[in-house]
Structure 1
């Protein structure tokens, strides 16, 4: 969870993934946690790139799920996907987001609630600030400095954040391990939990203690 999500403060000021990483450090400090295993997906994955690169002493192991390095090196979603997310017909944008998150079989068998569709309590100014922070994220120059063991899981059928970004991250972060989940879309960690969760747990439990 990041600033403006859930019960956290919702200030109307400039947000950035670097700022969100500092928020994460503040939480670790408040909990008395010196080092943590960090798992971030999508926007959270962008934040954890900043966290691991700028505060390496706080990260033991890193998982970057369905995310992107941002900036000019990233593979952007298509214009068709962008247009689908800004439709004005009632419910159209939400249905488009559902299709990007899940295969058709998942919502048919799981009626919700779907927590991956955003925080309904987040005010409009915070949504705009989050979008700007995501769009301005560029960790390309920072990624080679990440020293934590890193796993990069991603769904092969992810159109919201194209799977080609996973390969970029895995190539850019020293020693990172790439794992593509066949048929999975953006919410691979939920719909394909039977594959994704054991994968991540196995990775974290085999990282040597340092």
Structure 2
């Protein structure tokens, strides 16, 4: 798998297909394969004539594992994404992120507007602006527990089981959880000027309200993914069809 060095951090990625580029940024405790390859996103997007780039965020997949929460700010991870675009000679791309990846994508859309044609915020609603009720220290502690059976918090158990399933570096993930919880202000969200699609499962109790966020980001579109929770929305057909339609219609 190809990789490159960004300020001492090795970043792994994949780059497939031809056409207009789209950069995919996975969620917390996931990786480029689990989030995008296995649910057939790559094949779906390549089928529509797109060049698909997917990054392994720092601390995840085949990228460098770091153990200081300060290394996992959203700005740091967004800078990895921009560095990947620079590495590949891509001046501007559509961006799709899921959950934590959507936080990174929103950061790019707000701070690097000239590099972003449009952004899809998957699995993220008002969680962009508020951590109330969202996964946090409970998940970090679950990741640091000696065994899954030691974890009683239900959300912590879900993320711990997922991290075990993906054979992730749990200490790196705990640092990432603690470092990546920075929020966007309502004012900054209201200044996102690129086309935005907000796609959230109707049974998602992690993302926060998609429609409330849609009321804040001017001109944004909201896609409800019926009967899907945070984990099961990723590969849903409604999600895929909605994204393909959004990309086809964006200016």
TM range (shorter): 0.7 to 0.9
Q: In proportion to residue count, which structure has more helix? A: 1
Structure 2 unaligned residues grouped into runs of 5+: 1-55
1:74 equivalent to 2:130? Answer yes
Question: Corresponding residue for 2:99?
Answer: 42
- Pairwise mapping of residues 57-72 of structure 1 onto structure 2 (< 5 A)? 57-70=114-127
Q: Secondary structure at the match of 2:87?
A: helix
Shift of 1:11: 3.0
Larger deviation: 60-69 or 43-52? 60-69
Q: Secondary structure at the match of 1:205?
A: helix
| Matching residue within 155, 168, 177 for 1:121 | 168
Question: Corresponding residue for 2:237?
Answer: 194
| Matching residue within 74, 90, 96 for 1:33 | 90
1:185 equivalent to 2:242? Answer no
1:16 equivalent to 2:59? Answer no
Question: Corresponding residue for 1:111?
Answer: none
Distance 1:167 1:154 in 2: 9
Q: Residue 147 of structure 1 contacts residue 174 of structure 1 at CA under 8 Å; is this kept in 2?
A: yes
Shift of 1:7: 1.6
Distance 1:11 1:204 in 2: 34
Structure 2 CA distance for partners of 1:155 and 1:98, relative to 1, 3 Å? farther
Shift of 1:96: 4.7
Q: Residue 68 of structure 1 contacts residue 74 of structure 1 at CA under 8 Å; is this kept in 2?
A: no
TM-align CA RMSD? 3.3
Q: Residue 69 of structure 1 contacts residue 138 of structure 1 at CA under 8 Å; is this kept in 2?
A: no
Length-normalised TM-score, structure 2: 0.63
| Matching residue within 193, 205, 212 for 1:159 | 205
Cα shift readout 1:46-92 (whole Å, capped 9, x = no counterpart): 11111110000010011001114557x5273379xx69x94979545
Q: Secondary structure at the match of 2:187?
A: coil
Q: In proportion to residue count, which structure has more strand? A: 2
Larger deviation: 137-146 or 196-205? 137-146
Q: Secondary structure at the match of 1:47?
A: helix
1:168 equivalent to 2:212? Answer yes
Cα shift readout 1:96-143 (whole Å, capped 9, x = no counterpart): 569979xxxxxxxxxxxx97877523250x212211233233343321
Question: Corresponding residue for 1:105?
Answer: none
Q: How many residues align?
A: 188
Question: Corresponding residue for 1:204?
Answer: 247
Q: Residue 223 of structure 2 contacts residue 239 of structure 2 at CA under 8 Å; is this kept in 1?
A: no
Q: Residue 201 of structure 2 contacts residue 229 of structure 2 at CA under 8 Å; is this kept in 1?
A: yes
Length-normalised TM-score, structure 1: 0.75
Structure 1 unaligned residues grouped into runs of 5+: 102-113
